[in-house]
Amino acid sequence: MNFKRLLQICVLLLVSTVAFAQQVSPQNEPSVSRLQQHVSYLASDALDGRRTGTAGANDAARYIAGEFARLGLRPAASGPATRRGSQLMARYLQSFPYVAGVELGTGNTLTFVREAGGQGVQTLRVRDDWMPIGFGSNAKVAGTMVFVGFGITASEQSYDDYAGLNVKDKIVIALQGTPDGDNPHGKFARYEEVRWKAIAARTAGAKALLVVAREGEFKNERLARLTYEQTGGDAGIPVAVVSRSGVDSILGTPTVNDWLAIAKAKSQATSQPLPGQLTLVTDVLRKEVPAYNVIGVLEGSDPVAKRETIVIGAHYDHLGRGGSGSLAQRAGEIHHGADDNASGTAGMLELARLFTSQRPRPKRTIVFIGFGGEEEGLLGSNYYVNHPISALTNTVAMINMDMIGRMKDKKLVIGGVGTAKEWREIIAKGTADTKRSFSLTLNEDGYGPSDHSSFYGKQVPVLFFWTGTHNDYHKPSDTFEKINYTDQARILDLVSYIVREVDGTDKRLTYTTAKTEATPRTGGFRVYLGTIPNYAEGNDGLLIDGVRDDSPAAHAGLKPGDKIVKIGTREIKNVYDYTYALGEMKGGEEYVIEVVRGKDRLSLKIKPIQR
């Protein structure tokens, strides 16, 4: 949607809202009709699923900014004192780095020389015969090749395709799959992912990894679709997929089918380098695009208390047309994201309306934030807590709403109640009123799979409101007509009460370290460390956002802000290296973990807990 059209819509909304405002009850309660208006637009086909970095997500950001402007909220950014147009809208937007995707550069080549002296040169065609993989490094490498079977190193299974092989500074060729075949419950199932094969190759000293296509028709090969993942980082070596016919044509015998039989029968690669010399050049361009948090500020009325802030937030992004994160059977359909998280965004906008019309105004400053990039790994909220509009030490509480639109049987989950000693009493008082009564599940933990986790990692008391998952979660069928708007309004009435209670007292909330009630998500690994990884892209270590209290990480002396660079003998460059190392660890055994803290590199000792 173009900006001129958006402004026209905002004007129409303003006129209709003024007319509606004359009918609002004196209690200034949350409006079911307004919630439906917001959700139906944000979850409409027009916004195309709101995947971060797309036109649909940017239209959603501008819609939120338009609502903030209409309500009279102050933009977070300084700028000309204008009240209209794109200048004002832009001042509500906090941009953060985002790579929307990747595309082929002009330098991709794969050339094979069969004989010494440059005889028998063969060049494979990019797209038709081979493709670089998006998480691989851009580089030019040349050398001999070694077949490494499935390319798996799994110490916990006493299995290593690299055992007895010298692949240092060589190019390795690996088959897709595992010794278990396609068994999703096999003991090697997690090593199916090419990421793990790349880590094994790099650790063994290889300078590039070629993966043999699984499909006979290269155009049907999943790995040949150039994609990009925000949170994984660079593999550290070039990685490419080569068609089966391409591999056979350059190497002759043994063929791919022969290699597959060797790998299955012996579970071990051939020990001899393959004949010939291969030169590989990978050139993948990253498409950096704007991505935004949307921030509106209601300045407090008290000259002293207004220096402190209460953050009310919700993420507005979703999954676009599927792909990464989707639970749909196929990509291509619009994932509407009505509950996840147009519902929370609509709730945030409705609370902004309530508090801007409240008289007297709140004493403390309230900051309303629509976060981008949540589905990609809390990118927007993580960026905000490291680039806040005022010192984060002045933030007294953060209230997060994510999926608050599908309430059944009055069931409401509130997370983070252990992050301030006053939360339980405030919630109990708020729900004593029958109009705000729910069947509550209270969770102590301040960490979780949504944006409040970024704030709790900075020692800000948080609350997280959620009505639970459902069959439409992360599917195109999460549509606006399925939202329970009446109970959503009741939830907002409770949130409004809680914010007023926090604002109404002269004393700040008492921050406390919450106990862990839910099992930390570690991908089914056998051990637990208690770290909260930062999922923003990095390639020089894994940044830690938080450390759970009384965990192995806490006992080892790890702190939020540390960057893990080595565990045992394994170098850690990104979250995949970290999870790979985690899968190799054994409970009760002591490991040396190296971290960068400021300018210092520290060696600590950690003893993971067996699950």
pLDDT per position as a tens digit, 497-513: 999 999 999 999 999 98
The phi-psi region of residue 474 (left if phi > 0; otherwise alpha if psi is between -120 and 50; otherwise beta) is left
Kindly report the three-state secondary structure assignment for every residue of 203-238.
HCCCCEEEEECCCCCHHHCHHHCCCCCCCCCCCCCC
Structure tokens at 457: 């990692």
The domain defined by 527-610 folds into: Pdz3 Domain (2.30.42)
Domain over 3-98+289-504 is classified CATH 3.40.50.300: no
In this prediction, residue 605 carries a pLDDT of 94
Fold match flag (102-286 vs 527-610): no
All residue ranges of the chain with pLDDT < 50 are: 1-27, 79-82, 267, 518-523
pTM of the shown model: 0.79
**For the chain, how long is the longest CA-to-CA vector?**
89
pLDDT per position as a tens digit, 461-489: 999 999 998 999 999 999 999 999 999 99
The domain defined by 102-286 folds into: Glucose Oxidase; domain 1 (3.50.30)
DSSP 290-359: --EEEEEEE--SSTTGGGSEEEEEEE--B-TTSSTT--SSSS-S----IIIIIIHHHHHHHHHHHHHH-S
Strand 309-315 vs strand 365-371: parallel, antiparallel, or unpaired?
parallel
Q: Where are the domains of the chain?
A: 3-98+289-504, 102-286, 527-610
Name the one residue in this structure whose structure tokens are 């609370």. 351
The phi-psi region of residue 490 (left if phi > 0; otherwise alpha if psi is between -120 and 50; otherwise beta) is alpha
In this prediction, residue 90 carries a pLDDT of 87
Separation in Å, CA 68 to CA 207, 344, 520, 539 = 52, 16, 36, 37
Q: Give the whole-angstrom CA distance, residue 562 versus residue 304.
A: 34
